[in-house]
Amino acid sequence: MNRVLGMRLSYRMTATYVIGGLLPLVALSFYLIHGMNQILVSQAENTESAELQNICAQILELQETITTVSSYFYFDEELEKIAGRNYTDYQDMVDDFRGYTGFIDYQSYYNTMISRISIFMENETLRGNTNFIVVDDEIREQEWYERVSGKGGGVVWTYLPHVIPGYDHAPALTRMIKTRRSADVGVLVIYLRPEWFERMIWDREGSTYILLNGETVITSRHETVPFEELRQYLPQMTGGTYQARIGLPDGEYVLTCETVSQEDTSDSFWVVSVRAVDDILAEAKIQQRKSTWILVAGVVLAMTLITAFSWSFGRRVGRFKSQMQKAAEGNFELDAKLGGNDEISQLYDYLSTMIWRIQSLLAAVYQEKIQAERLKTSQKDAEFKMLASQINPHFLYNTLETIRMRARINKQYEIEELVKMLGKILRSSIQAGTKDMTIAEEVELVEYYLKIQQYRFGERIQYQIYVEEGIREQKILPLLIQPVAENCIIHGLEGRAEVGHIDICVKRSGKEVVIAVTDDGCGVDEEKLAEIRRELKSTRTRGEHIGICNVNQRVRLRYGDDYGVTIESVPQEYTKVEIRLPVEKQAESLPESRTAGSRQEKQDSRQEE
């Protein structure tokens, strides 16, 4: 609420109109569009299901017709004669084949449905043709023949190889034909025309498939989705309707399945269709785009009117505010009246009256204010003189620079380098309280310190510094690493005759920056180590390890108690001090301090030059 009240009045009015009027209108429009899309998809689903049911009814009618035709061949004496006769004369067999016209008659009568009628007989004396086929071992081992043989006289629907122009397989009805005494005559096979199925689905929108026992019989002309991609979404249905929306890589689809279930058979036809939701909504989206343009035009017009009114109102309020601000700053010269007779104009009149009274009061205290300003000026002069009497640290910088230049002239390059590094350390120490330092700057300062110590101890002090890439510009508190390095030399390496090593590693660990300083000096015994750890947890600083405790307190005050200094040590082996800081951009210094520090650095640079 405070943030809302802090907004400008014109912005608040515009936001109120937008949130209270335009946004609900836009939300309602999108809600209606979404609802319309859902209705269209639901209607398309119902239509698709009805169309597939109609196709299933036609397939069921075909099944019933073909089943009836197959029953006419039961108890056919001529077929029984051919199946049971032992032919020794080829001409007798040809005469019997020509004399039997049942297959040709039914095939001609149901020519639009039936492609061919054949019978497979267990009569080895026959010489088969396209209608009369002699069963051999290869046929007996085929799965469909074993099924129909085990069914007795039941109907078995299957998908068999069949030579038809444009097709290599065809759905077929198979059943065992028997005599009146229940003896097997042969397996009757009635091949159906695939084009009969094709006509029903060829021109349908989307992809439509007719399956027989899971095998694809016919696919519609508009096959937009390969059937193998749909197989995983098909249910284990034994009958009825299944409909669902499925997601494929190229979009959302409506999947509809209808099952054709014929009595007295376990085989079933499936009619499967899949339509893209985008295709269903294609025409609706055209209308939606038109409606969207109209809505956008209305929104633009409404926003223009709202903005114009808010700008006009806000402009008058802004003028009133500017006059109030001028009065608050001591400028009591008001502009002409705002015009109009509304509440803002009346407030402006009240402001004029208030300013007149303020001017009267200011006249009475004017002299007192002048005296107070003079007193302040005197105090500032006194403070300036006191500051001027203090030692200017630049004198010390200039002196060190003079020594460095003298050493350089005398070719005392080691002294020159020592003085230069000492000046850097001194300047960083004096300016340490004005701003944070980057990790790179802090590491550079520590390296100067360690180089000075190498001049003092020679090869007895060796060091190595590693800083992980990506954190060199991380801002940290100044003088965090140098006191720890100094403790390594004073308490760990200074009293030893052997070569000592100091390793400084700065790296990122999760959401923390870990600064690890390790030396292989004398180490710390357990009692002393426990005392140091107690001091690190305490808020007071005492004992010999003031530097480490000071670093710990500064880190905890800046970043919180979750961060700070830890120490571990093994006597006569090593001591390791870790400083843990958060990985984040540190707060900048105050503007006054930053400006002062920057000016000081510029002066120091000029003096160095």
Report domain extents, the chain: 51-279, 332-386, 391-435+589-609, 459-586
Across 362-395, b (16+ Cβ under 10 Å) vs e yields eeeeeeeeeeeeeeeeeeeeeeeeeeeeeeeeee
Span 432-459, mean pLDDT? 83
Q: Is the pTM here over 0.75, yes or no?
A: no
Span 496-524, mean pLDDT? 90
- Give pLDDT, residue 262: 79
| Residue 71: pLDDT over 60 | yes
The tens digit of pLDDT for each residue in 553-570 reads 888 888 888 899 999 999
- Give pLDDT, residue 504: 95
- pLDDT band with cut points at 50, 70 and 90 for residue 430: low
Reference 428, options 608, 597, 590, 607; nearest CA is 597
- Give pLDDT, residue 322: 76
51-279 shares its CATH topology with 459-586: no
The tens digit of pLDDT for each residue in 166-185 reads 788 899 999 999 888 888 89
Q: How far apart are the first and last CA of the chain?
A: 57
- Give pLDDT, residue 434: 57
Span 14-25, mean pLDDT? 76
Reference 137, options 161, 157, 160, 120; nearest CA is 120
H runs (alpha helix) in 329-392: 343-389
- The 10 Å Cβ neighbour count of residue 600 is 16
Which residues are CB-contacts of 385 (< 8 A; sequence separation ≥ 6)? none
With tokens 């689903």, the residue in question is: 45
CATH number for the segment(s) 51-279: 3.30.450.20
- Give pLDDT, residue 75: 87
- pLDDT band with cut points at 50, 70 and 90 for residue 465: very high
Whether the CB-CB separation of 335 and 345 falls below 8 Å is answered with no
Span 10-14, mean pLDDT? 70
| Residue 378: pLDDT over 70 | no
- pLDDT band with cut points at 50, 70 and 90 for residue 226: confident
CATH number for the segment(s) 459-586: 3.30.565.10
| Residue 393: pLDDT over 70 | no
- pLDDT band with cut points at 50, 70 and 90 for residue 601: very low
- Give pLDDT, residue 110: 93
- The 10 Å Cβ neighbour count of residue 347 is 13
- Give pLDDT, residue 388: 43
| Residue 120: pLDDT over 90 | yes
- Give pLDDT, residue 342: 67
Span 13-17, mean pLDDT? 74
Q: How far apart are CA 305 and CA 309, in angstroms?
A: 6
Reference 607, options 438, 383, 426, 451; nearest CA is 426
